[in-house]
Amino acid sequence: MHKHTSNLINAIVLVVLGLWGYLASETPSMTALIPVAAGLILAALHKGVSSENKLQAHIAVVLTLLVFIGLIKPLLGGIDRGQAGSIVRVAVMMLTSMVSMICFVKSFIDARRSRR
């Protein structure tokens, strides 16, 4: 999978599942919208990532890493509360973020090898 495709899929998943989690909550918190904001930023970076803009690609991978790390606590909270829907939503967001990061890193490694 190409890095720009995985980035766009990750952005869409973050926006959709983040909004779903926020709207499905009985006591919604503004922090639940952080993945939505990150997804919107990643979507805005899509054109730069697909056109091989190094700065935008690096911003996207750092943001993706921060999102992945930031989702650990909500996942653990969902597990503690036994909320299956929350666990699945957060796990899917983490999975797409991890796949996107792998695609980015693979792309960076391939670019470095091709320069040699």
Cα 7 to the chain's mean position, in Å? 8
Residue type (1 letter), 76 = L
* pTM: predicted TM-score of the whole model, two decimal places: 0.92
Taking phi first (over 0 means left), then psi (-120 to 50 degrees means alpha), and beta for anything else, what does residue 7 get? alpha
The answer to whether residue 104 scores a pLDDT higher than 90 is yes
The answer to whether residue 116 scores a pLDDT higher than 90 is no
Q: What is the pLDDT of residues 35-90, one digit of tens each?
A: 999 999 999 999 999 998 999 999 999 999 999 999 999 999 999 999 999 999 99
Contacts of 64 (CB under 8 A, 6+ apart): 7, 10, 42, 97, 100, 101, 104
- The domain total for the chain is 1
Q: What is the pLDDT of residues 4-41, one digit of tens each?
A: 999 999 999 999 999 999 998 888 889 999 999 999 99
Could you list the residue range(s) of the whole structural domain that residue 55 is in? 3-115
